């Protein structure tokens, strides 16, 4: 499937900025099931853009602008080719070992309620099926409300 993507954001400042430095994470990477065909980043002010890779293997862009800058508009457009993969990402640039993502931190500690939900949904099926059931159950627990005509959780 070919996906055409467009993203537009505006950042306004209370006071004009003399210097602006921002790390942008606006470009997907290639994987076994995804290829970036075309990608373009447009910035509304005079800015230098430096592309690189962060410590997690993600493509990033550093934006450097000299002011005064009172607002920055970013427009990203691109085309990505994908094949079905059931949500399992393989073949991505991954410099860190899996154990890095398996450690418990304060932000990732499993609550009793989440643990109970996971046990209730475990049932049959492979780990990916169980993960999809858990994800769907968590999603179903969110309440969505329209704000300015857009849905927000």
pTM higher than 0.75, yes or no? no
Which pLDDT score, from 0 to 100, does residue 114 have? 83
Angle at 134 between CA 131 and CA 135, to 5 degrees: 85
CA distances from 147 to 10, 11, 25, 142, 150 (A): 18, 19, 25, 15, 5
pLDDT of residue 115: 85
Rg (CA), the chain: 20
Give 60's strand partners: 52
The structural domains of the chain, with segments of one domain joined by +, span: 1-92, 104-142
The sign one gets for the Cα dihedral 80, 81, 86, 89 is negative
C-alpha distance across the termini of the chain, in Å: 28
Helices (H), 34-111: 99-102
- The CATH number for 1-92, chosen from 1.10.3470, 2.60.40, 2.40.50, 1.10.260, is 2.60.40
Where do runs of H (alpha helix) occur along 1-149? 99-102, 112-122, 127-140
Q: List 21's β-bridge partners, or say none.
A: 64
Cβ–Cβ under 8 Å, residues 32 and 90: yes
> Mean pLDDT in each 10-residue stretch from start to end of the chain (153 residues)?
94 94 93 94 95 89 94 96 85 84 86 85 80 86 72 58
Task: Return d(Cα 54, Cα 33) in angstroms, integer.
Answer: 21
pLDDT of residue 5: 94
pLDDT tens-place string over residues 42-77: 999 999 999 999 888 889 999 999 989 999 999 999
Distance between CA atoms of 74 and 44, rounded to whole angstroms? 7
């Amino acid at each position: 499937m070919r996906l055409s993507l467009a993203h537009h954001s505006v950042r306004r400042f209370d006071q004009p900025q003399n210097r602006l430095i921002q790390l942008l994470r606006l470009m997907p990477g290639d994987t076994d099931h995804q290829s970036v065909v075309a990608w373009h980043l447009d910035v509304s002010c005079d800015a230098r853009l430096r592309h690189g890779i962060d410590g997690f293997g993600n493509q990033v862009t550093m934006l450097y602008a000299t002011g005064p800058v009172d607002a920055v508009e970013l427009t990203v457009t691109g085309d990505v080719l994908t094949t079905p993969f059931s949500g399992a990402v393989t073949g991505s640039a991954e410099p860190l070992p899996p154990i890095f993502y398996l450690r418990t931190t304060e932000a990732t500690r499993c609550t009793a309620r989440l643990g109970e939900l996971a046990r209730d949904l475990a049932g049959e099926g492979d780990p990916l099926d169980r993960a999809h059931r858990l994800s769907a159950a968590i999603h179903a627990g969110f309440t969505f409300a329209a704000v300015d005509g857009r849905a927000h959780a």
